[in-house]
Structure 1
């Protein structure tokens, strides 16, 4: 799989970009803040229908524009699909596949499969549970539109139930019909939250089981003298949702566990006005030996663990018969020489490798290919002779040879 064409309009710092790619490495070189990462972010968005850096899509739209456009053509095993995404500053986004509007945006999930390595990956080990949940949900997109839909439905119910909980206490204190209405409505939301939450939990458990062996193997290769690394999914409701006798727990069983936990926590939830039960409170337990990696792993070990997680997702896609596009966003500047060499060797066989670097010297030997030089242009208002906007431009396109 590789991206053959990418066009951006009013996407972050790119007012206009039209690029043709091939099944080969492409390296975007430019100073920090010049827009290199924005190109990879656009492809990440085309993969996951969300940014890896911000939660609001409005931040992706260039200043002064109402919408941004991402258009890409993906070549996969002799077949090509073209996808266009319109990201609106206000209102719903639009998606089309081969010029046909797509009503359910999740239908385009899987057209492009990519894995991004970025400096922010260190948060997978040292950050908060939300960073690790996001990683799992990103990998789950590879399971197809159904898994993506379950998470979207869960998030929708979670928001609506949380809004009800904020007003539930006052309604119950008024009593009468108000109290009865709150209780009956909460019962409905509890059932939906448990149902969708069970699917989300089951999907995350499945991904953790699938990624785990690849992760352990990748970490052992990167850090052969370190302790063994392992993964486990930690559900806030307790170990009852984990595997039973080595077999996945049925979704119906997980749903029942969540329902019981919701019933037990109802008074506390109403008192605090927040949802205390569900997979939005779970975590991915990364362990080094018999200790949690967070708080015990050194800086070098943490980077090795983060790299191993990303390498494991590549192997998971390959096991599914897909060679994903691999994107390396300024990671070589963060790694020591040994980890650089391992990453270079691992990605050498990628069908398409996209790399960003501040300067060519950040690139280790072995990373060679097409080089695109990115600069930032500052437009001026001719009348006032003042800078009014900044935009990214590709100002060079050449080959980075082995002898450079």
Structure 2
């Protein structure tokens, strides 16, 4: 799978830009603030309907965009084997986004998820190791949705139910006589949807584990003494007795009953996948709080490389691999290890401030990015 053409209208810093792309490695070179990350962010957004840089759509639309409603349009032509597809997304903050495939409108914008699959590694990925549980949950859910796009609907429905349930609990906190007759109904829905989501996360971690450990050992090979095992442990908000959606739903029901009074006192849902975490261990110690800066970088990179391998095995097709401004953060040994690992991928898109930061094996085709203009480096 690879992108053959990218077109942007009023996306980020670009009024209009069109770029022809090829398989293999492509590097976008330019000083910070010139717009190179915006290009790969647009491709990644088409894949997941989520940005690795911001949590809302508003910053994605160019300030001063034309038209009565400020909007951005992202188009990409995607080649997958002998099949081609044109993907289009219209982003309008505060209104419903719209998506098309081969000029035909999709009934739901989330149906676009997974047609193009990407794996993106960026400096923000240090949060997967050092950040809050929400960063690791977002990583897991983004990957499970790419593996099974229908789970985008499950996740959206879960978030809707959670919001309604929290509203009800908040009213009970401020009013002792609030009507909680519908709480059992919201419990049932939260548990059924949460069971599916947690079960998918657990299956992902099981598949990810061997690839994560191997990727870490390879990336960290420049530190010859670092041969410690990498393990992942799912930390649920309530004890689980099994990994199937039914088993998880039953455990969530029990957890909600146990925490019912606490939830009423605090006015918030305390049980469910929105409260879970994943513990990452290097050897016998948790990475968060104990890993060095270099170890944290290696582990974050290994998480993305393992994700790439899992997606490839699921579909026997390479996702597009995006390396956004990461080489400047890596020492020479880790740069060379990364280059050796990703060079065989069908398409690798790289951003860097200077070409010297990118290993020669990955320079491939180059574009210069300056002041919102993109030109091929002949």
CA distance in structure 2 between the partners assigned to 1:163 and 1:35 by the alignment: 41
In structure 1, the partner of 2:147 is 143
Residue 90 of structure 1 is aligned with which of 80, 88, 94?
Answer: 94
2:166 pairs with 1:170: no
Between 92-101 and 134-143, the greater mean CA deviation after superposition:
134-143
Shift of 1:106: 2.5
Give the 3-state SS of the residue equivalent to 1:223 in structure 2.
helix
Residue 264 of structure 2 is aligned with which of 250, 261, 270?
Answer: 270
In structure 2, the partner of 1:194 is 191
Residue 346 of structure 2 is aligned with which of 340, 343, 351?
Answer: 351
Shift of 1:164: 1.9
In structure 2, the partner of 1:232 is 233
In structure 1, the partner of 2:313 is 319
In structure 2, the partner of 1:70 is 74
2:200 pairs with 1:221: no
Between 117-126 and 229-238, the greater mean CA deviation after superposition:
229-238
Shift of 1:259: 1.0
* Larger Cα-atom Rg: 1
Give the 3-state SS of the residue equivalent to 1:45 in structure 2.
helix
Within 5 Å, which residues of 2 pair with 1:233-252?
233-238=234-239, 240-241=240-241, 243=242, 249-252=243-246
Deviations 1:127-174 (A, max 9, x none): 111111111111112222222211111111111211222212234x2x
2:56 pairs with 1:56: yes
CA distance in structure 2 between the partners assigned to 1:150 and 1:340 by the alignment: 38
Deviations 1:185-232 (A, max 9, x none): 211111111110111100100111111110011112222432111112
Shift of 1:250: 2.2
2:247 pairs with 1:253: yes
Give the aligned length.
Answer: 369
CA distance in structure 2 between the partners assigned to 1:223 and 1:29 by the alignment: 26
C-alpha RMSD of the superposition: 1.3
In structure 2, the partner of 1:210 is 207
Shift of 1:50: 1.4
In structure 2, the partner of 1:2 is 2
In structure 1, the partner of 2:138 is 134
Q: TM-score, normalised by structure 1?
A: 0.89
In structure 2, the partner of 1:103 is 107
Shift of 1:117: 1.0
In structure 2, the partner of 1:393 is 373
Deviations 1:232-262 (A, max 9, x none): 2111212x25x5xxxxx22112111101111
Instruction: List alignment gaps of at least 5 residues for structure 2.
Output: none
Shift of 1:366: 1.9
Contact 1:109 / 1:144 at 8 angstroms: preserved in 2?
A: no
2:373 pairs with 1:372: no
Residue 305 of structure 1 is aligned with which of 292, 295, 299?
Answer: 299
Give the 3-state SS of the residue equivalent to 2:207 in structure 1.
helix
Between 280-289 and 225-234, the greater mean CA deviation after superposition:
225-234
CA distance in structure 2 between the partners assigned to 1:370 and 1:398 by the alignment: 8
Give the 3-state SS of the residue equivalent to 2:53 in structure 1.
coil
Instruction: List alignment gaps of at least 5 residues for structure 1.
Output: 244-248, 377-391, 400-404
Deviations 1:108-142 (A, max 9, x none): 22211111110111111111111111111111122
CA distance in structure 2 between the partners assigned to 1:170 and 1:350 by the alignment: 56
Shift of 1:349: 0.7
Shift of 1:292: 0.7
Deviations 1:345-385 (A, max 9, x none): 11111111111011112222322222111111xxxxxxxxx
Contact 2:27 / 2:349 at 8 angstroms: preserved in 1?
A: yes
Shift of 1:105: 2.2
In structure 2, the partner of 1:24 is 24
Give the 3-state SS of the residue equivalent to 2:169 in structure 1.
helix
In structure 2, the partner of 1:342 is 337
Contact 2:26 / 2:362 at 8 angstroms: preserved in 1?
A: no
CA distance in structure 2 between the partners assigned to 1:276 and 1:45 by the alignment: 31
In structure 2, the partner of 1:15 is 15
Give the 3-state SS of the residue equivalent to 2:323 in structure 1.
strand
Shift of 1:74: 0.6
